[in-house]
């Protein structure tokens, strides 16, 4: 496994560790994952609902000034808290 991939997996695990004891954030996290997953993600290898790499690079550059940045775990939790507070606003409607 390449070093950037190991770094991303480690970051994902730390984010999951932070969200784990906050079950009220689980629905927001799953909905966010569903919103960001490309259509028919299960047909691509690896079959994981991961957002498009170009989209993530754009979001990281606009938020942190570096397309390879990883958001601090506290930012991930804060974002999911914000999503939860929004309630039904912008809810995924499918396409």
What are 24-61's pLDDT values in tens digits?
999 999 998 888 888 998 998 888 888 888 998 999 99
Residue at 43 is within a domain: yes
The size of the chain, in residues, is: 95
Cα–Cα distance measured from residue 8 to residue 6, given in angstroms and rounded to the nearest whole number: 5
pLDDT per residue over 79-89, tens digit each?
999 999 987 54
Residue 91 lies in a domain: no
Is residue 94 situated within a structural domain? Answer: no
Task: Give the domain range for residue 56.
Answer: 3-86
Residue 7 domain-assigned (yes or no): yes
Nearby residues of 39 by Cβ (< 8 Å), 6 or more positions away: 95
Ramachandran assignment for 3, one of left (phi > 0), alpha (psi -120 to 50 degrees), beta (any other): alpha
Q: In the chain, where does DSSP find H-type helix?
A: 3-19, 26-36, 53-64, 73-86
Residue 65 lies in a domain: yes
Q: Cis omega (within 30 of 0) on the bond before 50?
A: no
Tally the domains of the chain.
1
Residue 92 lies in a domain: no
């Amino acid at each position: 496994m390449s070093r950037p991939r190991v770094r991303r997996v480690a970051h994902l695990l730390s984010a999951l560790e932070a969200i784990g004891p906050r079950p009220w954030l689980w629905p927001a996290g799953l909905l966010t994952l569903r919103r960001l997953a490309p259509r028919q993600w299960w047909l691509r290898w690896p079959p994981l609902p991961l957002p498009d790499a170009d989209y993530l690079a754009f979001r990281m550059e606009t938020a942190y000034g570096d397309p390879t940045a990883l958001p601090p775990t506290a930012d991930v939790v804060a974002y999911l808290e914000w999503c939860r507070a929004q309630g039904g606003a912008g809810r995924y409607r499918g396409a």
